[in-house]
Amino acid sequence: MECSSRTSSRLSWCLVLVGVVLLASSPGSAAAPRRLLQTCVGQDFDVPHAHLRAKNNYTQELSDRAAAWVAQFKDNCAAAAPAAGINVFLGPAGATWLPSDAVAAWAEEEQHFDYGSNTCADGKGCGRYTQMVWRNSKEFGCATVDCASGETLMACHYEPQGNVMGQKPF
């Protein structure tokens, strides 16, 4: 499907396609790329997020902040760790990683989240998923850097930050 048009009809179809692919996909090996959707420039992070967040607003300011954040780890991407309001993805060397791969990895954490108890399953992470869908996070921005090691580092900054203790994401 051609996604270069900015018409709402085509974007709607792209979003429907993302949802269908997510529902039909199953987790692969940790090193295998998660190819959800080939998107257009500018939609690389926004489209995959859209199926999870109805109120997303991708901003240049947060994208610039994310770019500065990932740039500091270019020579040692393994040192990058999630922080308050920041989701991190590190794609192993030897593959081409897309923004949709990062979003898919974070979305896979949904299976480990128990809404009733507002906790992650024992020994499992789900904070990147809950940050993506956090109801009070209204804006986000993302960036990618090619690491000196050949890995690919991606990060998204969210505001206001989510994962507030004692609150549920939605």
Phi, psi of 158 (to 5 degrees): -120, 140
36-88: pLDDT as tens digits: 445 554 556 665 555 555 456 889 999 999 999 999 999 999 999 989 999 99
More confident residue, 22 or 48: 48
Q: Does 4 score more than 50 pLDDT?
A: no
Residues 90, 150: Cα–Cα separation, whole Å: 11
Tokens of 28: 């692969």
Q: What is the pLDDT, as a whole number, of residue 42?
A: 55
Question: What is the distance in angstroms between the CA of the first residue and the CA of the last residue of the chain?
Answer: 32
Q: Flag whether pLDDT at 7 surpasses 50.
A: no
pLDDT score of 36: 47
Mean pLDDT of the chain: 78
pLDDT, average across residues 132-145 = 93
**Across the beta sheet with 86-91, what order do the strands follow?**
86-91, 152-159, 139-146
pLDDT tens-digit readout, 121-132: 999 999 999 999
What residue ranges define each of the domains in the chain, with the CATH number in brackets? 43-159 (3.40.33.10)
Q: Does residue 5 surpass a pLDDT of 70?
A: no
Determine phi and psi for 58, rounding to 5 degrees: -75, 125
Q: Which tens digit of pLDDT belongs to each residue from 83-109? A: 999 999 999 999 999 999 999 999 999
Global pTM value: 0.69
Which residue, among 131, 157, 160, 161, has the nearest Cα to 68 in the 3D structure?
157
Are 158 and 85 a contacting pair, CB within 8 Å?
yes
- Predicted confidence at residue 45, as pLDDT, reads 65
